[in-house]
């Protein structure tokens, strides 16, 4: 009897410790995401107040301009003028990400950071869509024809890169060089 109680207490402590570790990971992701959201929103507010619309300022010669534009579409101006659809999509995606983070925290460092960047970028652009009806973009690469973007867009792209890197790193991809013909 005493042995069964001892086993139960040990198992309870292990589960409690594991859950505590999962909660810490979830909290870390959410805190990192908040930093990204704040950086994104602060940068947009700063550029709006300093430069305003319809002006372009060269920051790094032959490389980077600050050009504030209203983007009613998604990445690369896909779904232009689909604000309602994109607003709901941002909200739903953010809620799903939060649910994933809380219910099954990542097991790897790159996945943890990737989820932080993805949630931060999604919420950052989602805030613009909900409160403004468009996303503020302001970073323009001069030497190439590329859509104007913002910190949230960069965060989402960093997340994708981290997820790809994590997948390659954590999966044992073995290529069989001995092909049977």
Q: Is 137 a catalytic residue?
A: yes
Query: Of 40, 128, 137, 166, which is the active-site residue?
Result: 137
Residue closest to 130 by CA, chosen among 50, 41, 13: 41
153 is catalytic: yes
The catalytic position among 40, 128, 153, 166 is: 153
Q: Which residue numbers are catalytic?
A: 137, 153
């Amino acid at each position: 009897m005493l042995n069964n109680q001892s086993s139960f207490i040990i198992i309870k402590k292990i589960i409690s410790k594991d859950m505590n570790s999962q909660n810490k990971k979830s909290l870390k992701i959410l805190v990192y995401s908040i930093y990204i959201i704040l950086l994104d929103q602060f940068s947009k507010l700063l550029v709006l107040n300093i430069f305003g619309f319809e002006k372009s300022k060269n920051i790094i010669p032959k490389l980077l301009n600050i050009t504030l534009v209203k983007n009613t579409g998604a990445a690369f101006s896909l779904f232009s003028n689909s604000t309602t659809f994109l607003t709901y999509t941002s909200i739903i995606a953010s809620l799903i990400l939060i649910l994933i983070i809380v219910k099954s925290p990542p097991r790897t460092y790159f996945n943890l950071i990737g989820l932080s960047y993805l949630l931060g970028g999604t919420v950052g652009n989602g805030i613009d869509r909900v409160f403004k009806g468009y996303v503020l973009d302001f970073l323009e690469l001069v030497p190439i024809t590329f859509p104007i973007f913002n910190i949230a867009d960069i965060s989402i792209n960093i997340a994708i890169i981290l997820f790809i890197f994590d997948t390659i790193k954590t999966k044992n991809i073995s290529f069989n060089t001995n092909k049977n013909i």
